[in-house]
Amino acid sequence: MNAPHHRLEDLFAQLGLASSTQGIEAFLSTHAPIPADVPLADAPFWTEAQSKLLKEEMLGDADWAEVVDQLNLALHQTNA
């Protein structure tokens, strides 16, 4: 049985954020880059519920691991 494939748009919707391409781009341009030593879920702009969701998805749900990692990379990279 194949695991569901989640998209970045799906993750943003789960987080209660604008999940359109424009919404995601605006979020990333507003919040990236976060310092390399700050774990994704500990970034200061998340609500408590968003942080908890990200931690749960990273630790316990392989279905979401790829897209959470994608968000992690996008928020930690600089626009050099």
Q: Is residue 62 part of a domain?
A: yes
Domain that holds residue 51: 8-76
Q: How confident is the model at residue 2 (pLDDT cuts 50, 70, 90)?
A: low
3-state secondary structure the chain: CCCCCCCHHHHHHHCCCCCCHHHHHHHHHHHCCCCCCCCHHHCCCCCHHHHHHHHHHHHHCHHHHHHHHHHHHHHHCCCC
Whole-number Cα distances in Å, 1 to 4, 7, 30, 61, 73: 9, 19, 38, 16, 28
Look at 1 and 61; give whichever has higher pLDDT.
61
pTM summary value: 0.86
Q: Please give the distance of CA 5 from its chain centroid, rounded to a whole number.
A: 15
Q: Is residue 1 part of a domain?
A: no
Look at 31 and 2; give whichever has higher pLDDT.
31
CATH number for position 20: 1.10.10.1130
Looking at the 3D structure of the chain, how many domains does it have?
1
